[in-house]
Structure 1
Amino acid sequence: MAPFSDTLRGAALMMAGMAAFTFNDACMKAVSDSVPFFQAVFLRGCLTVALLLVLSRAMGGLRLRLPARDWRLIGFRTLAEIGAAYFFITALFHAPLANVTAIIQAIPLAVTMGGALFLGERVGWQRWLAILIGFAGVLLIVRPGTEGFTIHSVHALISVGFVAARDLVTRQLSRGVPSMSVAVSAAAGVALFGGIGAAAQGGWTPLPTVALAQLAGASVFIVGGYLFSVMAMRVGEVAVIAPFRYTALLWALALGILLFDERPSALTLAGAGIVVATGLFTFYRERRLARRGAVQRG
């Protein structure tokens, strides 16, 4: 077991990463009032790529000479990243921040299910039950067939599928592939997608100073979220640290109330609680199984 101080540091880094990602989301939602969708995606993407390249030069880790198999996987992963960005930001532009954040907390459940269905990973009945209950919680948030249901809830759900696909492809990459190379490729792909969309729409909206600051903030926060989350996974026990990703929901609730005057319904909060609880159970089960396997191998 990792030293307590390492685990505590890892938990703090994970919480910082989730805060950074949520502040990025808030910046993107705020900019939706003054900047068209594709233009916002393009500009944030360009700024993000520039920041990542500066960091890679300072810290190293960017390598382009990779096996053809890994480049194909990075290509598939980038396509999944583009799909996730499109549907997630579309939902973010139109739906409450806390609702969208609550829905994407189902990503660990979706990854576990995808691993079982497509990668042949063993998932016992307890985790299958947790997945089913977790997605029932998502239905409480989305509430299809009610007045609160919108197409943007579906967009958030679709983004969960794309992120799960992205993470499953990431698992197939060789160990020697630098994380920075993967991150730069994904950011460049999203920026290119936004640029093509902006060109197809025609015209260019002049940026107010506030909107430019919001986009710059979004870029800094998304890079910070990436760095903090990667650092967190390299410190302490992953199984202990990973559940702290759910602190993103607390940030989303707070920012939604403070910045956008959004107050989630009781059903949304109940659904979010179910999703988080089942996700935590899944982490707990995976930790126990990993320990049991380590004992058997020993």
Structure 2
Amino acid sequence: MSGKTVNSAILLLVIGNALALISDVFIKLLEGDSAVFQYAFMRCLITLALLLPFWRQIDTGHFFEGGVLHAIRGHVHLVGIVCMVVALVSLPLATANAVFYVAPILVMILSAVFFGERLTRWSLLAVFGGFAGILVILRPVDISWAALAALGSAAALAINAVLVRKLPARQSTVHKLFLNYLMITPVCLLLMLWEGAPWSNAVLLSAVGSSVFILGYNVCVLLAYRQVDANQITSAEYTGLIWAVLIGWWWFAEVPDLWFFTGSLMIVVPLLLIGWQQRRQPKTSSHEVADTYYHGAKAE
């Protein structure tokens, strides 16, 4: 699977999204009262260690270029990590992932507000359909802190996806990811100490598992988008929702209801239509590697 053909690139994205869902499973296996900040700190250390072998891709001569923006993105990402843990621990796997898919819709809105990008009729359909879909899935009577956390995670993903445009163009993805985690590690340490939770091997296992599998997802994304236009294969990203349903049903005995399927279609179908429209007007576009899944808004 070199990713050099459309079919192989699509297969890589399907596999990659499955790996990302396994990453989510490691988080979901945590207890409801697990130390969230301990998890965030361990996630930072493990990710930095996993990135060290790729040190040559980091421009050490301009290591802290764009540091302020990196710091902002990093701390937004930290909020997203915390929200993601709360959502995955409390919500059904498929429900949490469906809400995460609101991220690309928020990217459209933020891009229109801050960059003056024009929303097409398809984009507007995605925006209204997406938010209506979220209401159908969550239903106002069922709104909880976990549901709000899922929305918060999607918002963090969207903000970081928009802010990445302002980062120095010459910085590699590894460079951006490394700075992202490096800058939030001290804050994570302080929050962990403030949390005061006893050491947990379960949290460590969750952090290791989720970090390794999300790295596998990152590799698949890089290979898939390296030589194939994004508009030809992006729709394969939405197989993540299928994996969420299957893994949630098999592993956690979670059976999605009609509300979930209806709302998910309202979110995903307009995004697929946008991809179809873009495919009719091919253009080369770059794709940044993701950390956390972020699935939908793909930004590190």
Question: TM-score normalized by structure 2?
Answer: 0.85
> What residue in structure 2 maps to residue 115 of structure 1?
111
**Alpha-carbon distance between aligned partners in 2 of 1:218 and 1:185, rounded to the nearest angstrom:** 19
1:164 to 148, 158, 161: 158
> What residue in structure 1 maps to residue 297 of structure 2?
none
Cα deviation for residue 253 of structure 1 reads 1.1
Whether the 8 Å CA contact 1:64–1:181 is kept in 2: the answer is no
1:197-236 map, 5 Å: 197-207=191-201, 212-236=204-228
**Alpha-carbon distance between aligned partners in 2 of 1:254 and 1:156, rounded to the nearest angstrom:** 20
2:57 to 57, 61, 69: 61
Structure with bigger RCO (C-alpha 8 Å, 6+ apart) = 1
2:244 to 239, 242, 252: 252
Give CA deviations for 1:171-211 in whole Å, capped at 9, x if unaligned.
Answer: 22233111001111223345444322210011423425xx5
**Alpha-carbon distance between aligned partners in 2 of 1:191 and 1:67, rounded to the nearest angstrom:** 17
SS in 2 for 1:31: coil
Give CA deviations for 1:226-266 in whole Å, capped at 9, x if unaligned.
Answer: 22212222121210221111111111111212222212221
**Alpha-carbon distance between aligned partners in 1 of 2:93 and 2:209, rounded to the nearest angstrom:** 17
Change (3 A) 1:206 1:102: closer
> What residue in structure 2 maps to residue 47 of structure 1?
46
SS in 1 for 2:153: helix
**Alpha-carbon distance between aligned partners in 2 of 1:91 and 1:103, rounded to the nearest angstrom:** 10
> What residue in structure 2 maps to residue 137 of structure 1?
133
1:136-155 map, 5 Å: 136-144=132-140, 146=141, 148-155=142-149
Residue 17 in 1 paired to residue 16 in 2? yes
Whether the 8 Å CA contact 1:82–1:189 is kept in 2: the answer is no
> What residue in structure 1 maps to residue 190 of structure 2?
196
Change (3 A) 1:115 1:285: farther
> What residue in structure 2 maps to residue 294 of structure 1?
none
> Could you list the runs of 5+ residues in structure 2 that have no partner in the other structure?
284-300
- What amino acid sits opposite 1:223 in the alignment? L
1:268 to 260, 269, 274: 260
**Alpha-carbon distance between aligned partners in 2 of 1:69 and 1:288, rounded to the nearest angstrom:** 38
SS in 1 for 2:66: helix
> What residue in structure 1 maps to residue 277 of structure 2?
285
Most deviating of 244-253 and 119-128: 119-128
Q: How many residues align?
A: 282
Change (3 A) 1:25 1:191: farther
- What amino acid sits opposite 1:22 in the alignment? L
Most deviating of 7-16 and 273-282: 7-16
Whether the 8 Å CA contact 1:239–1:283 is kept in 2: the answer is yes
Residue 78 in 1 paired to residue 64 in 2? no
| Structure showing greater Rg | 1
Cα deviation for residue 132 of structure 1 reads 0.7
Cα deviation for residue 289 of structure 1 reads 5.4
Question: Pairwise CA RMSD of aligned residues?
Answer: 2.3
2:177 to 165, 180, 183: 183
Change (3 A) 1:94 1:172: same
- What amino acid sits opposite 1:188 in the alignment? L
Most deviating of 239-248 and 122-131: 122-131
**Alpha-carbon distance between aligned partners in 2 of 1:241 and 1:248, rounded to the nearest angstrom:** 14
